C-alpha cells in the first residue's frame, strides 16, 4: 500500500526519488563514511512530512516510543540493529537497565516498553525496568495482552558510580524517558556505566534550534551529492527570543520573524510555481513535538497572543517551561490514507532503519500537527513483496522506492542528531 499523494505538484519529489534511487551506492557509501566519523544515536524516530514538492523531517525523537507500532515482521531487523549497537558500547554486556517514562498509565506506551524489552532480550541481554518514580518496592503493571511488566526502584551502587536495581548490575542504562522533568540526580555521575542516550539528549538540555542547525549542515552536503536544491529536504527556520508568559514582551519579535519567514517561503513557492498557502509552525525550542505547537499563516495571528495561547506554547509535558520559541517553515502533508491526512514516522536503531508507520489523523488538516489524541497508526509497507527498491518502477508508484527515500531522509535527521549531540556535549571526549 502506497498512500495516495494528493497534490498537483509532485514532479519535484518524483525527480528526487529518481535521483536518490539512482545514487543509492553513493548515498549508502556516504552514510557509511559519515558513521566512521560520527556515532549514531542509540535509537531514534523521525517524523516526516511529504508535500509532493518537498519532503522533510519535522521531529527527531531521541527517546522514541511507539516500537509497538512497528510491524512484527520487521522485528528481526530491530534485533539485528540492536546487536550492532550493544556490541559497540558494551560487547560483554549481560544486563540492560531500561528507564521508561514516569507515571504513565498509557497502555500503548507500556506496550512500547514491553516491545523494547523483547527486542533487547533477543540480542542477549537480561532486561529489567527501573523507574524514576519514587517507589519503595517493585510495582507490577498488567498489559492489555495479558502479560505484565514490573517497575523496580533504582539503587545506586555503594561506590556511587553505578546505577542498578536490587541484585541487578547493568552495563548500560537505556533511557526511554525524555527527561522533560529535568535531570534527576540519580542519573548523574554514573562514571562506570554507559547512559544512553546521553543526558544532554533530554529535553532538560536539548534545544530544537541546535538540531535544525546541524541538519542544515548535513543537508547541504547531501544535496550536493545527489544534486538537488537543499530546500527540497529542509524547512526554513528562525529562532525567536524569549516569550514571556506573564507579559506581552517577545510578541513583536515573534511576529517579525514569522513575517520574514513567510516571505522567504513565498519566494520559494513562486520559484517552483507552488500554489499552496505558505504557513509556519511556532513551537517551544524544547519539549516533545506533540506539545505547545501552533500553525500560523499570517504574522497578525501571533501579534496579540493572550495569556492562554502563550502558556500553551511554552509549557510542555510535565510542566516543563521553555520560553524560547522556534519558528519553522510548515510542510504540508499531502499523503492520504482513506481520506485522512497521514505522515510517515521512521524508526532507527544505531545507523539502521528498522521500520516505520504512518501516523494518520482523520480530524486534522494538511498543515496541522498530527501527533495528537485521535491519531492511529498504519505500519509502513516494508513487508510487502520486493522490499528492496525497484529501479525499473515508474517514479512514485513503488512502495519500497518511496520508503527507501523516507529512510534516507530520516537518516539525514539521524546524522544531524549525531552532530548535534557532539556539539552540545558538556563533557566532550578529547581524542
Contact 342, 334 (CB under 8 A): no
Q: How far is the CB of 362 from its own copies (least distance, A)?
A: 26
- The residue among 189 and 394 lying less far from its own copies, judged by its C-beta, is 394
Q: How far is the CB of 421 from its own copies (least distance, A)?
A: 21
Secondary structure (DSSP) of 56-91:
EEEEEESS---GGGS-GGGHHHHHHHHHHHHHHH-T
Give the count of alpha carbons within 13 A of 184, CB side only. Answer: 18
- The residue among 198 and 407 lying less far from its own copies, judged by its C-beta, is 407
- The residue among 32 and 423 lying less far from its own copies, judged by its C-beta, is 32
- The residue among 118 and 259 lying less far from its own copies, judged by its C-beta, is 118
- H or E stretch covering 119: helix 107-122
Q: How far is the CB of 249 from its own copies (least distance, A)?
A: 51
Q: How far is the CB of 417 from its own copies (least distance, A)?
A: 19
Chain residues binding its own copies by CB under 8 A are: 24-33, 36, 72-77, 79-81, 83-84, 86-87, 91-94, 118-119, 121-126, 352-353, 382-389
Q: How far is the CB of 35 from its own copies (least distance, A)?
A: 8
- The residue among 284 and 354 lying less far from its own copies, judged by its C-beta, is 354
Among candidate residues 225, 407, 389, 409, the one with its CA nearest the CA of residue 331: 409
Contacts of 424 (CB under 8 A, 6+ apart): 200, 205, 206, 207, 210
Q: How far is the CB of 352 from its own copies (least distance, A)?
A: 5
- The residue among 3 and 389 lying less far from its own copies, judged by its C-beta, is 389
- Alpha-carbon span 174 to 62, nearest angstrom: 11
* Burial letters 143-178, b for 16+ CB under 10 A, else e: eeeeeebebbbbbeeeeeebbbbeebebbbbbbbbb
Amino acid at each position: 500500500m502506497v498512500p495516495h499523494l494528493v497534490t498537483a505538484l509532485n514532479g519535484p519529489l518524483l525527480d528526487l526519488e529518481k535521483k536518490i534511487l539512482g545514487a543509492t551506492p553513493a548515498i549508502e557509501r556516504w552514510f557509511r563514511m559519515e558513521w566512521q566519523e560520527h556515532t549514531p544515536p542509540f535509537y531514534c524516530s523521525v517524523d516526516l512530512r511529504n508535500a509532493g514538492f518537498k519532503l522533510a523531517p519535522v521531529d527527531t525523537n531521541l527517546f522514541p516510543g511507539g516500537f509497538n507500532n512497528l510491524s512484527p515482521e520487521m522485528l528481526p531487523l530491530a534485533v539485528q540493529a540492536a546487536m550492532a549497537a550493544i556490541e559497540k558500547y558494551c560487547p560483554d554486556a549481560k544486563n540492560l537497565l531500561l528507564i521508561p517514562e514516569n507515571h504513565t498509565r498509557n497502555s500503548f506506551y507500556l506496550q512500547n516498553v514491553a516491545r523494547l524489552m523483547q527486542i533487547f532480550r533477543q540480542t542477549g541481554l537480561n532486561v529489567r525496568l527501573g523507574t524514576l518514580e519514587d517507589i519503595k518496592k517493585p510495582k507490577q503493571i498488567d498489559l492489555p495482552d495479558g502479560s505484565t511488566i514490573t517497575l523496580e526502584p533504582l539503587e545506586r551502587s555503594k561506590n556511587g558510580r553505578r546505577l542498578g536495581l536490587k541484585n541487578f548490575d547493568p552495563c548500560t542504562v537505556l533511557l526511554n524517558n525524555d527527561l522533560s522533568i529535568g535531570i534527576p540526580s540519580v542519573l548523574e555521575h554514573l562514571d562506570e556505566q554507559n547512559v544512553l542516550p546521553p543526558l544532554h539528549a533530554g529535553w532538560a538540555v536539548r534545544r530544537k534550534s541546535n538540531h535544525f542547525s546541524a541538519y542544515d549542515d548535513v543537508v547541504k552536503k547531501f544535496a550536493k551529492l545527489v544534486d538537488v536544491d537543499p530546500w527540497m529536504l529542509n524547512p526554513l527556520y528562525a529562532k525567536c527570543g524569549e516569550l514571556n508568559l506573564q507579559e506581552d514582551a517577545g510578541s513583536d519579535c515573534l511576529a517579525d520573524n514569522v513575517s520574514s519567514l513567510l516571505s522567504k517561503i513565498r519566494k520559494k513557492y513562486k520559484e517552483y510555481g507552488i500554489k499552496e498557502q505558505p504557513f509556519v509552525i511556532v513551537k517551544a525550542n524544547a519539549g516533545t513535538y506533540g506539545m505547545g505547537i501552533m500553525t500560523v499563516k499570517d504574522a497578525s495571528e501571533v501579534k496579540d497572543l493572550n495569556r492562554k495561547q502563550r502558556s500553551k506554547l511554552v509549557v510542555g509535558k510535565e510542566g516543563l517551561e521553555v520560553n524560547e520559541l522556534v519558528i519553522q517553515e510548515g510542510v504540508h502533508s499531502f499523503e492520504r490514507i482513506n481520506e485522512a491526512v497521514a505522515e510517515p514516522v521512521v524508526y532507527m536503531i544505531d545507523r539502521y532503519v528498522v521500520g516505520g508507520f504512518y501516523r494518520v489523523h482523520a480530524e486534522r488538516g494538511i498543515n496541522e500537527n498530527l501527533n495528537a489524541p485521535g491519531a492511529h497508526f498504519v505500519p509502513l509497507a516494508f513487508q510487502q513483496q520486493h522490499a528492496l527498491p525497484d529501479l525499473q518502477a515508474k517514479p512514485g508508484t513503488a512502495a519500497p522506492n518511496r520508503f527507501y527515500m523516507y529512510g534516507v531522509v530520516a537518516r539525514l535527521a539521524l546524522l544531524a542528531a549525531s552532530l548535534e549531540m557532539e556539539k552540545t556535549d558538556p563533557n566532550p571526549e578529547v581524542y
